[in-house]
Structure 1
Amino acid sequence: MVIEAELQEVKRARDFVALAFGAWGLEDHVARTVVSELAANAIEHGSSRGDPVVVRAYQREDGSPVVEVWDRSDVLPVVGPVDLCAEGGRGLRLMEALVRAWGVRHLSEGGKVVWAMIAPVPR
């Protein structure tokens, strides 16, 4: 699915992932949290207002679900140090704790894809 780089579009990304996981018979709580973080980061840090942001969900051959978010920026996401006084900056650290694995790959046409593999939990 393609959303616009507007923060209100994060809900559409969550709803899309919930539908995909529901179709697969999988619990979607972690996936919705993960896609919220990835989409918000793509919108806030990887896009200009109105740019397209691609959200994708699929299952690997082993049944592991993967959520991906594509944006136009080549800047890689960074899990920063813990700052207990900061109001933000915890999202990637939280996501990292929830998923089996995550990473980033650059796109040949520019931009990047941030992906997260989630443990499949039946409903």
Structure 2
Amino acid sequence: MAAHSTLVIKVTAGADVPERCSQAFTVASVAAASGVPVSLWLTGESAWFALPGKAAEFTLPHAAPLPDLMAAVRANGRITLCTQCAARREIGAEDVIEGVRIAGAPVFVSEIMAEGAQALVY
């Protein structure tokens, strides 16, 4: 991956599939901490983590705390909550934690189609 490439990660799992969820956040945070531009998309059940306090409720043995992983991504990348996922859960822009934006499929497609972008789905 070129130094300017963005790693776009779409996480669909939340507390319902904790290992897959944790893997997505771990990969995103490690990449961001390594200087890789990261765009983490919260979709499906992971949408709840855009709300204050929800990441702190997530637990998985031998996994880094989700709030720490999210903080690493927010510090060095971008977190986006899917527009439709937010609407289905009645989450508005005023509800999400600082540093989380709400955007839809056109923005996601634009990001994954950008030159050099790499995409992962969990």
Q: TM-score range by the shorter chain?
A: 0.3 to 0.5
* Larger RCO of the pair (alpha carbons < 8 Å, separation 6+): 2
TM-score (norm 1): 0.32
Greater share of residues in helix: 2
TM-score using structure 2 length: 0.33
**Larger Rg, first or second structure (1 or 2):** 1
